[in-house]
């Protein structure tokens, strides 16, 4: 009787050593975390998620709905996340972590429909800088190869696009305001 009990105790003492217990639990948590995180990522990429805050606090959703990438509720050429969330996983994490700051601002009610125009230049600048830094990576994710065939474009577009590389330009240099009210600053 005494033998197995003390063996159990020994086992528990061994298991309770922080390091030995910590490693397997840590691995399990990381695995659960990653699986859960991917799920959150997919759900949060849906327009409905972005709309949930931006409908109340600004005019961004209405502007998007009047833009060329939105055809109807059933036909959307690009979602909010398609343009704003980079495709690489690590970049996604960075964006999501930065988005927790958004949640803080939202709860504080810093931005409202009334004062949005005062905040807009600051926010637009963040987006432009991100897009310039990534060479408009989210745009190019869709507009490349067959989907960006210069020979099939009208002359005006083709002439502008032919020289992009030589001139060191990127999509957002010319297509600012593609989804939202056009603003000029700087
Ligand atoms: C919990 C509310 C909330 C949700 C959900 C939300 N946003 Fe925001 N968003 C905000 C707030 C608040 C700001 C303003 C942050 C600030 O003042 O710096 C903001 C700012 C932005 C900006 C401006 C640039 C920047 O990085 O701050 C972009 C772009 C943006 N959101 C896109 C999105 C997209 C895309 C989604 C869906 C994937 C989304 N938002 C979901 C509240 C939200
Ligand atoms: C999820 C895919 C996707 C993303 C991301 C995307 N687009 Fe598009 N875009 C399309 C499709 C599809 C069309 C319609 C077919 C076409 O013109 O190629 C379109 C059309 C356009 C047009 C023509 C609009 C008009 O007036 O008819 C422009 C300009 C454009 N996109 C620029 C951009 C820019 C700039 C970005 C990045 C800020 C971007 N797109 C991001 C898919 C996308
Ligand atoms: C030097 C400025 C400039 C740059 C840089 C630029 N564009 Fe354009 N783009 C234009 C102009 C001008 C048009 C024609 C618009 C019109 O006629 O209304 C156009 C048209 C388009 C169209 C519509 C083409 C069609 O078939 O009608 C798409 C899509 C587009 N651009 C996407 C992009 C993407 C993606 C990038 C980045 C790879 C980009 N553009 C970079 C100036 C530019
Ligand atoms: C076709 C790509 C595209 C789509 C789709 C798109 N955006 Fe944007 N967004 C941009 C660009 C580019 C900017 C930078 C400012 C500009 O040029 O209009 C921007 C700027 C913003 C800003 C900063 C305020 C401003 O006016 O500049 C917010 C907030 C934002 N987007 C949220 C959203 C949300 C939420 C959605 C979906 C309802 C969305 N965007 C859909 C391309 C897009």
- Domain ranges within the chain, ordered by starting residue: 1-44, 50-175
CB 15 within 8 A of CB 21: yes
1 CA from centroid of ligand 2 (Å): 75
pLDDT on residue 128:
96
- pLDDT value at position 45? 67
Q: Collapse the DSSP code of 55 into the 3-class scheme (helix H, G, I; strand E, B; otherwise coil) and give the result.
A: helix
Low-confidence ranges of the chain (pLDDT < 70): 1-4, 11-26, 28-45, 90, 185-186
**Residues flanking ligand 2, CB < 6 Å:** 68-69, 77-78, 82-83, 136, 138-139, 141-143, 147, 171, 175, 178
Supply the pLDDT for residue 102: 81
pLDDT of residue 37: 64
pLDDT for position 186: 53
Tell me, in angstroms, the distance from the centre of ligand 4 to residue 180's CA: 6
First CA to last CA across the chain, in angstroms? Answer: 82
CB under 8 A, 24+ apart: contacts of 158-162: none
Fold classification of 50-175 is Multiheme cytochrome fold (1.10.3820)
Q: Whole-angstrom Cα distance, residue 76 to residue 138?
A: 16
pLDDT at 182: 85
- The token duo for 102 is 């958004």
Ligand 3: nearest atom to the Cα of 152: 26
pLDDT computed for residue 1 by the predictor: 45
Residue ID of nearest Cα to ligand 1 atom 41: 50
């Amino acid at each position: 009787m005494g033998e197995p009990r003390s063996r159990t105790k020994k086992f528990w003492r061994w298991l309770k050593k922080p390091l030995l217990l910590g490693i397997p639990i840590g691995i399990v948590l990381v695995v659960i975390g990653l699986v859960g995180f991917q799920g959150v990522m997919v759900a949060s990429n849906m327009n409905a998620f972005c709309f949930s805050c931006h409908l109340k606090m600004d005019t961004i959703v209405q502007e998007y709905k009047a833009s060329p990438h939105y055809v109807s509720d059933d036909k959307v050429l690009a979602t909010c996340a398609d343009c704003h969330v980079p495709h690489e996983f690590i970049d996604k994490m960075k964006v999501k972590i930065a988005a927790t700051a958004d949640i803080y601002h939202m709860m504080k009610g810093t931005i409202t429909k009334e004062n949005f125009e005062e905040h807009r230049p600051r926010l637009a600048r963040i987006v432009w800088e991100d897009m310039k830094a990534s060479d408009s990576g989210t745009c190019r994710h869709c507009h490349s190869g067959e989907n960006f065939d210069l020979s099939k474009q009208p002359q005006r577009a083709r002439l502008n696009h032919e020289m992009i590389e030589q001139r060191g330009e990127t999509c957002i240099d010319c297509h600012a305001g593609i989804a939202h009210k056009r603003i000029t600053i700087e």
